Amino acid sequence: MNKLLCMRFIACVILFALGVPALVAQAPKPRVFLINASALIHEKQHPNTDLLKLVRKDADAALQTPPLTITVKTKTPPSGDKHDYMSMARYWWPNPNTKDHLPYVRHDGLSNPEIKGITDHELLDRVAASSRALALGWYLTGDERYAAHATLLLRTFFLDKATAMNPNLEFAQYVAGVNTGRGTGVLDARGLSIAVDAVGMLAGSKSWTPEDQAALQHWFGEYYTWLTTSKNGKEEAAAANNHGSWYAVQAASIAMFLSKTDDAQKIAERVRDQRIPSQFDAQGMQKYELARTNSFSYSAFNLDALTNLAAIVAPTGIDLYKPVKPGAPGILTGVDALLPYDAQHPWPHDQISKGKEDSLCPALIRTAAHTQDAKYAEAERRFDCKQTAVTLLESPTRSN
């Protein structure tokens, strides 16, 4: 046996003696940005029975999701191509003062049931959530059924020529009689960051091939170009309220997926240095969200975006929970401002949709995990926040 073979033999013997956990520890971290990669690896090495039950339950339910495509819609976008995403503006209604009811008029906080006639938004969200549940199921259990079905959903929605969505949102949230699509429609695709995590967990499965990976990276590359250069994309990037925050979530997660880490860092710096200081006052109230008829819900929604973004950009070395200047208001100030207003303590501003106190839970759960501050853990119980498999894996401290 020559020297090189002998060294390899000795190395194999040492690894075998150390056992499977040592082998797993050497595996590369999954490329996920909302779920915490370290928490995933820890759970894979040290399975928690209760968490695995939640994971299997979600994955088994997602197995029932059929392949979905936006090409089934009955309405056709102005482009004439049903592969183009399309949706109606939620809060815009037929005009009672004109014979043809055009142009539509806005009633903030009141959803027009007509939006249900176009299901592109619903289908995108369902594919993203189901594929992530399945990918997580495969990653933690090794059950290839989950990976195979996640692959089917992703291929059908994004890759197969006959059924794939075109990588743009030109016709999202159109207002009848006013436009064919708006920058605010970019919000519809916030679920793409969830799909990115699904792909990151599928790597290594038999079902998700290198060709699939390359094709989806190409799709997201084209979408990222549209997102960052189109009129609609630029309008949403400039939005001062929650729309701009959710744009940053999309852009940063896709940038990380495409290995454009410098882009993600620049997004994080702009949010830390400009967006957050402009959104929160000294007490943590959010002036752009207080202007809405559902001001508590939208304040919580913006915090949901910012805490998601904090997780995505953490690998760049930027902690969005820390304000740009010591003592300046920020994410934690914003969460603290909403903490007094649970179901027993009414919100003193406009909130026409009642019983929405739990809309704070996504941001509250992440804040509790990040800070390890007992007051946020107590608030989780007070707001009756429900833990899910994903929230338990959003921080490395949750599954230990």
CA distances from 347 to 214, 296, 304, 360, 400 (A): 48, 7, 18, 12, 36
Residue 398: CB atoms within 10 A of its CB come to 19
List of the chain residues with pLDDT < 50: 1-27, 399-400
Q: Which two tokens stand for residue 396?
A: 């490395």
pLDDT at 29: 85
Q: Are 276 and 321 in contact (CB under 8 A)?
A: no
Q: Please answer whether residues 294 and 351 qualify as being in contact, where contact means their C-beta atoms are separated by less than 8 angstroms.
A: yes
Q: Which residues of 192-217 are buried (b: 16+ CB within 10 A; e: fewer)?
A: bbbbbbbbbbbeebebbeeebeebbe
Give the pLDDT of residue 321.
98
Model pLDDT, residue 319: 97
pLDDT of residue 400: 45
**Domains of the chain listed by start with CATH number:** 63-238 (1.50.10.100), 261-400 (1.50.10.100)
Distance in angstroms (rounded) separating the CA atoms of residues 43 and 51: 9
Find how far residue 391's CA is from the centre of its chain: 12
Task: Name the pTM for this structure.
Answer: 0.92
Q: CA-to-CA distance for 259 and 197, rounded, in angstroms? A: 14
Burial code of 335-369, b = ≥16 C-beta within 10 A, e = fewer? bbbbbebbeeeebebebeeeebbebbbbbbbbbbb
What is the structure's pLDDT at 14? Answer: 37
Helices (H), ranges, the chain: 3-18, 20-25, 37-45, 49-62, 120-141, 144-154, 192-202, 210-229, 231-238, 242-257, 261-270, 276-279, 287-290, 295-313, 331-338, 361-371, 374-382, 389-392
- What per-residue confidence (pLDDT) applies to 25? 38
Distance between CA atoms of residues 294 and 352, nearest Å: 6
